[in-house]
């Protein structure tokens, strides 16, 4: 079954590392007791991160849009394969790396304890992407993301607030569709990945009301 790329997460645009993301997350992070990685260590992590960045960039070029937190079959498996390669590449890093934290938060559960559940629901996620209601949710979020990005250079705090608002509206829009078509368990998976990712990248963003 071919799965369109339109459902790779907003995690790739908001949560997962991208060029310059570490600086963004650092501005919005919570306190950690681990020693921060040196520039040299982060450079090593950055090299390990390249396959993820390349994959995300390729998918975004194909769709011409930001990606969102529902994965269908082929993409879900490819993401997890790349994630495992990243973990192997960074296994010697013991310091606190913002990039590693962001990747783990976005993909750790999906590619670990929750892998079988995601695999069970991936076919339904793939079907949702073709529905008019979902496309409307995605397009509205894409437009809002573009507006938020314009403010990023002038006011990073406003940028993060805007991203939080985009995610909140997107989740409220998608929730009834996913619950109706794929069931509560499938929505709980989307919710968990979203919450785990936000804890690292936007800890001040409160979106729990949009998840229940």
Q: Which residue has the higher pLDDT, 16 or 192?
A: 192
Report pLDDT for 110. 86
pLDDT given at position 125 = 85
Is residue 203 within 8 A of residue 102, CB to CB? The reply is no
What pLDDT is attached to residue 68? 45
pLDDT in tens, 32-89: 567 889 888 989 999 999 998 888 777 666 554 444 444 445 677 888 899 999 999 9
Task: Tell me, yes or no, if the pTM score tops 0.95.
Answer: no
Structure tokens at 23: 């600086």
Is 200 in contact with 15 (CB distance < 8 Å)?
yes
Q: What is the mean pLDDT of the chain?
A: 77
- Whether the pLDDT of residue 140 is over 70: the answer is yes
Mean pLDDT lowest for which of 63-67, 94-98, 103-107?
Answer: 63-67
Who contacts 41 (Cβ-Cβ below 8 Å, separation ≥6)?
93, 95, 97
CB atoms within 10 A of CB 84: 13
Alpha helices (runs of H) in the chain, residue ranges in sequence order: 21-28, 39-63, 73-89, 98-107, 115-128, 132-150, 156-182, 184-201
Task: Please count the CA atoms within 13 angstroms of the CA of 44 that sit on its side-chain side.
Answer: 15
pLDDT tens digits for 187-208?
A: 998 888 888 888 887 888 888 8
In the predicted structure, residue 18 carries a pLDDT above the cut 50? no
- The residue among 44, 67, 57, 75 whose CA lies nearest residue 18 is 57
Residue 183 region, left (φ>0) first, then alpha (ψ -120 to 50), else beta? left
Confidence (pLDDT) at 14: 39
Q: Could you tell me the pLDDT band of residue 185, with boundaries at 50, 70 and 90?
A: very high
Rounded to 10 degrees, the C-alpha dihedral 72/134/142/15 comes to -40
């Amino acid at each position: 079954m071919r799965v369109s790329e339109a459902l790779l997460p907003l995690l790739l645009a908001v949560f997962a590392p991208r060029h310059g993301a570490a600086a963004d997350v650092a501005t919005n992070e919570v306190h950690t007791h681990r020693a921060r990685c040196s520039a040299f260590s982060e450079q090593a992590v950055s090299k390990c991160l390249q396959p993820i960045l390349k994959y995300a960039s390729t998918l975004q070029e194909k769709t011409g849009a930001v990606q969102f937190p529902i994965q269908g079959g082929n993409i879900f498996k490819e993401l997890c394969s790349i994630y495992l390669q990243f973990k192997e590449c960074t296994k010697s890093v013991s310091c606190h790396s913002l990039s590693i934290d962001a990747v783990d938060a976005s993909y750790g559960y999906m590619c670990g304890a929750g892998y079988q559940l995601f695999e069970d629901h991936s076919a339904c996620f793939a079907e949702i992407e073709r529905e008019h209601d979902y496309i409307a949710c995605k397009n509205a979020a894409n437009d809002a993301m573009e507006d938020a990005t314009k403010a990023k250079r002038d006011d990073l705090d406003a940028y993060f607030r805007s991203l939080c608002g985009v995610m909140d509206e997107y989740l409220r829009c998608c929730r009834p569709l996913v619950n109706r078509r794929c069931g509560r368990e499938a929505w709980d998976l989307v919710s968990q990945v979203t919450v785990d990712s936000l804890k690292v990248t936007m800890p001040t963003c409160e979106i729990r009301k949009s998840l229940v």
